[in-house]
Amino acid sequence: MPLPFELLATDLASAARRGRILCAHGPIETPAFMSVGTRASVTGLDLRDLTAVGTQVVLGNTYHLMLRPGVEQFERIGGIHNYMGYHGPVLTDSGGYQIFSLADDRTVNEKGARFRSYVDQRYHLLSPERSIAVQTAIGSDIMMVLDVCIDSRSNPSEIRAAMDRTHRWALRSLAARENPQQALFAIAQGGLNPAWRRESVEFLAQHPFDGFAVGGLAVGDTRTEREAVTGSTAELLPASHPRYLMGVGTPVDLLIAVGAGVDLFDCILPTHFAWQGTAFTSQGRVKIRRQSHAARDTPLDPACRCHTCQHYSRSYLHHLLKCGEPLGYRLLSLHNLTYYNDLMARARQAIENGTYARFAATTLEQIDGYEHNLRPELA
């Protein structure tokens, strides 16, 4: 049964679209940012926090969850929703990117990827079929096919071979799916080659996948290259299905990709940067560890509704981080995820109003200077 996807509105001056995905555990209002819950936990946050920051979807990591707590645990307790007590939609990746990151400790052939576990040092084979079996046990609403993710700077023959194998693995993943209530997304590859990206989309769109993702970006490419590939690939993907840009990225990346017609996003940046002491704000990034914040008794972002901005000052956050207090990282994570989710909520409203292009241009002007190091005073 196809994953229900409603197209509710489109922008007048861009390809941005407002939609709704109807998952087994509830709707996803799109465009949407997914909170990354690598090990069935969004770092430092509990279920009340996820509600407060506006989380619609949690993304689980198949590679890590397969190794710990393991498939048997999910089968015993009835899936990830019961395990973590979260009953909203969950998307699981396939493990492809994690296999890519193990360059010195894995081998890949047509069967799958063989690697050594960091938990117990035993070897595992992650095949398309095994990836689907693990995701089935996890019980995610949306599963991803196992793909071959390689650096965008790889030589053309390697990129072409990875794309072709991704196509073969996608069909094996599709054949391995057992539960029709769990949606399955395919992943378009092809590096930075527009012709190969088109070929990838055309091949995958022939088959009954529930959604399509743009993969293989933010792994060696520049921002300009990433934007070009995202835009050209998104317009090729079926308009009737959800579109997902994997592992990207900054608020700027999201705004531009929404304008290209992308519906779903994930990235570790909101929590990862929080644990480095960096906050995303309506005026750009703020590095709260810097001494310039030690006596600033103002919120991180006066325009933000989050618990952190409503109750704590920059000077207090600076103090917490300098002392290494875990509360500081948690408060920054709360803020960053609220910022990302509110940015997507504002984008949805702008699309409904038919004003997304203007909204994006205005917002980019406010925050994009920092991305190009033009406004160091904000740091």
Helix, strand, coil: what percent of the chain each, to 5?
45, 20, 40
* Confidence at residue 250, expressed as pLDDT on a 0 to 100 scale: 95
Per-residue pLDDT reduced to its tens digit, 108-137: 999 999 999 989 999 999 999 999 999 999
* Confidence at residue 2, expressed as pLDDT on a 0 to 100 scale: 78
Coil, strand or helix: which one is 319? helix
CA dihedral in degrees (300, 306, 311, 315; nearest 10)? -20
Farthest-apart Cα atoms in the chain, separation: 60
Query: What are the sequence ranges of the domains in the chain?
Result: 5-267, 275-378
User: Which amino acid appears at position 336 of this protein?
Assistant: N
Name the active-site residue from 210, 221, 263, 266: 266
* Confidence at residue 344, expressed as pLDDT on a 0 to 100 scale: 98
At the topology level, CATH places domain 5-267 in TIM Barrel (3.20.20)
Name the active-site residue from 11, 49, 93, 253: 93
Cα separation of 41 and 50, whole Å?
10
* Confidence at residue 377, expressed as pLDDT on a 0 to 100 scale: 39
Residue 371, pLDDT > 60, answer no
Judge whether 266 counts as a catalytic residue.
yes
Mean pLDDT of 14-40: 97
Cα separation of 300 and 264, whole Å?
27
Q: At what angle do helices 356-371 and 326-353 cross, to 10 degrees?
A: 150
Per-residue pLDDT reduced to its tens digit, 65-85: 999 999 999 999 999 999 999
CB 163 within 8 A of CB 189: yes
CB 42 within 8 A of CB 57: no
Beta strands in the chain (DSSP E): 5-10, 17-23, 26-30, 32-36, 58-60, 90-92, 106-108, 113-116, 123-126, 142-144, 183-188, 211-214, 243-245, 264-266, 278-281, 284-287
Cα separation of 167 and 151, whole Å?
18
Per-residue pLDDT reduced to its tens digit, 7-25: 999 999 999 999 999 999 9
Judge whether 151 counts as a catalytic residue.
no
Per-residue pLDDT reduced to its tens digit, 291-341: 999 999 999 999 999 999 999 999 999 999 999 999 999 999 999 999 999
Mean pLDDT of 102-110: 83
